[in-house]
C-alpha cells in the first residue's frame, strides 16, 4: 500500500484546526513544532507541514497527495487540484475596502485608482470581469496601512471580523469571494481507496460537529407529539422507564435550530432533557 502524503499549514491560522480534524479522524501522529514531516502510526499517511502558499502547487504536482488549505490560496495560485471537502473552518471573505471618508462606493469608481493587495490574481480577475482599469500594487503584508500612508486608494484583503479594517479607518464596500479551508487532492486521486477512507472519516467528524445527542423523558400520552419533533438519524429510540407511563427517548438533533427544537420539545411534554456532544456519525 502506497503511503499517502497530506500537506497542512505549518503554523498560522489553519494549523491548529487542521491538526485537530486529522486527530479527530482517529489518526495518531506526533505534532512537534520543529518537524516538517510526521508519520501517522495507524494509517498509511505522512503529514507535511508547509507554508500555506506552497500547498496548492505541491498537491497539483503530486509531491503531496492531499492538502488542507484556504480556497483563496488555491484560486490565487491557480493550481489545478480536486476539491474533496469543505472543512468549515478558516472562514473569511476577500473584500475591497477604502478609507472611511472616501467617495469610492462602487466598483466602477475604482477606475484609474491604485489598489494594494497580497492577492493580485483574484483581484485582477475581478476587475477584468467588471471592466475596471485600476492599478494593482502587490504588497506581501499589512496592506491595510496603504490608504493611510497615501500608498493606495483602496485595498483588497482578507476580512473575517472586520476589526483590522476598523482599526485602520477603513470600510469594506464589496465582497469579491468567500473562502474556507478545504481538503484537496492531486487530480485523479479522488477515487484512491485510502483517499476515500480519509474523506469519509472527515465527513463523519463534520456531521457529528453540527449535531447533538439528546435524551429526554416523556409521558407515553405525549410520546407521539415529541417524536414528531425529532427526525433522528433514522427514527428515535424509545426505551421504557421504571415508571410505567413514561419512556425515555434518544435522538440526534441538528445544532442549527437547536434552541427552537428544545423549546418545542419542552412544550410538547419532554422533561429532563440531557444534551451530549457526538464524536462521530458513520452512515
Ligand atoms: P503561511 O506562513 O503559512 O504562509 P499566512 O500568513 O500566509 O501563513 P495565515 O494568516 O495563517 O496565512 O492565514 C491562512 C489562511 O487562513 C488564509 O489564507 C485564509 O484562508 C484563512 N483566514 C481566515 N481568517 C483570516 C483572517 N482574518 N486573516 C487572514 N487569513 C484568514
Ligand atoms: Mg501564506
Per-10-residue mean pLDDT, the chain, length 283: 93 96 96 87 97 97 98 98 97 96 93 96 97 95 89 93 90 95 97 96 93 94 93 79 96 86 94 93 85
Q: Closest residue (by CA) to atom 1 of ligand 1?
A: 51
Angle between helices 15-24 and 193-209 (to 10 degrees): 100
Q: Could you tell me whether strands 114-117 and 271-277 are parallel, antiparallel, or unpaired per DSSP bridges?
A: unpaired
Compute the distance between CA of residue 7 and CA of residue 63 in angstroms, rounded to an integer: 9
Best of 11, 12, 72, 179 for a ligand 1 pocket test (most atoms within 8 Å of beta carbon): 12
Q: Look at residue 233 in the predicted model and tell me its pLDDT.
A: 55
**Which atom of ligand 1 is closest in space to residue 9's alpha carbon?**
3
Name the grid cell of 107.
Answer: 466598483
Q: Is 50 left (phi over 0), alpha (psi -120 to 50) or beta?
A: beta
Q: Look at residue 68 in the predicted model and tell me its pLDDT.
A: 98
Q: Closest residue (by CA) to atom 28 of ligand 1?
A: 158
Q: Closest residue (by CA) to atom 21 of ligand 1?
A: 90
Using a CB cutoff of 5 Å, list residues around ligand 2, an ion: 52-53
Name the grid cell of 186.
Answer: 492531486
Q: Look at residue 232 in the predicted model and tell me its pLDDT.
A: 58
Q: Look at residue 258 in the predicted model and tell me its pLDDT.
A: 84
Helices (H) and strands (E) in the chain, counts: 9, 15
Pocket of ligand 1 (CB under 6 A): 9, 12-14, 51-53, 70, 72-73, 90, 92, 158, 160, 179
- Comparing CA positions, the residue from 66, 93, 87, 107 lying closest to residue 194 is 66
Ligand 2 geometric centre to CA of 244 (Å)? 62
- Radius of gyration for the chain, computed over Cα atoms and rounded to the nearest angstrom: 24
Buried-state track 17-41, b at ≥16 Cβ within 10 A, e below 16:
bbbebbebbebebeeeeeeeebebe
Interface predicted TM-score of the whole assembly (ipTM), two decimals: 0.97
Amino acid at each position: 500500500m502506497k503511503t499517502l502524503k497530506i500537506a497542512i499549514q505549518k503554523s498560522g491560522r489553519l494549523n491548529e484546526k487542521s491538526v485537530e480534524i486529522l486527530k479527530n479522524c482517529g489518526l495518531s501522529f506526533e505534532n512537534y513544532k520543529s518537524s516538517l514531516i510526521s508519520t501517522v502510526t495507524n494509517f498509511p499517511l505522512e503529514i507535511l507541514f508547509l507554508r500555506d502558499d506552497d500547498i496548492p502547487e505541491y498537491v497539483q504536482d503530486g509531491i503531496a497527495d492531499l492538502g488542507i488549505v484556504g480556497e483563496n490560496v488555491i484560486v490565487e495560485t491557480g493550481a489545478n487540484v480536486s476539491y474533496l471537502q469543505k472543512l468549515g473552518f478558516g472562514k473569511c471573505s476577500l473584500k475591497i475596502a477604502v478609507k472611511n471618508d472616501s467617495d469610492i462606493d462602487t466598483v466602477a469608481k475604482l477606475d484609474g485608482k491604485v489598489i494594494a493587495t497580497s492577492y493580485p490574481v483574484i483581484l485582477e480577475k475581478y476587475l477584468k470581469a467588471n471592466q475596471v482599469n485600476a492599478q494593482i500594487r502587490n504588497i506581501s503584508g499589512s496592506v491595510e496601512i496603504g490608504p493611510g500612508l497615501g500608498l493606495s486608494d483602496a485595498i483588497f484583503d482578507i476580512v473575517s471580523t472586520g476589526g483590522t479594517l476598523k482599526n485602520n479607518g477603513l470600510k469594506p464596500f464589496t465582497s469579491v469571494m468567500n473562502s474556507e479551508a478545504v481538503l484537496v487532492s492531486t487530480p485523479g486521486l479522488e477515487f484512491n481507496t485510502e483517499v476515500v477512507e480519509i474523506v469519509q472519516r472527515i465527513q463523519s467528524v463534520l456531521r457529528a460537529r453540527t449535531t447533538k445527542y439528546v435524551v429526554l423523558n416523556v409521558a407515553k400520552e405525549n410520546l407521539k407529539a415529541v417524536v414528531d419533533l425529532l427526525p433522528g438519524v433514522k427514527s428515535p429510540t424509545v426505551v421504557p422507564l421504571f415508571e410505567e407511563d413514561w419512556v425515555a427517548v434518544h435522538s440526534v438533533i441538528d445544532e442549527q435550530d437547536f434552541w427552537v427544537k428544545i423549546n418545542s420539545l419542552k412544550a410538547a411534554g419532554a422533561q429532563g432533557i440531557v444534551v451530549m456532544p457526538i464524536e462521530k456519525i458513520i452512515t
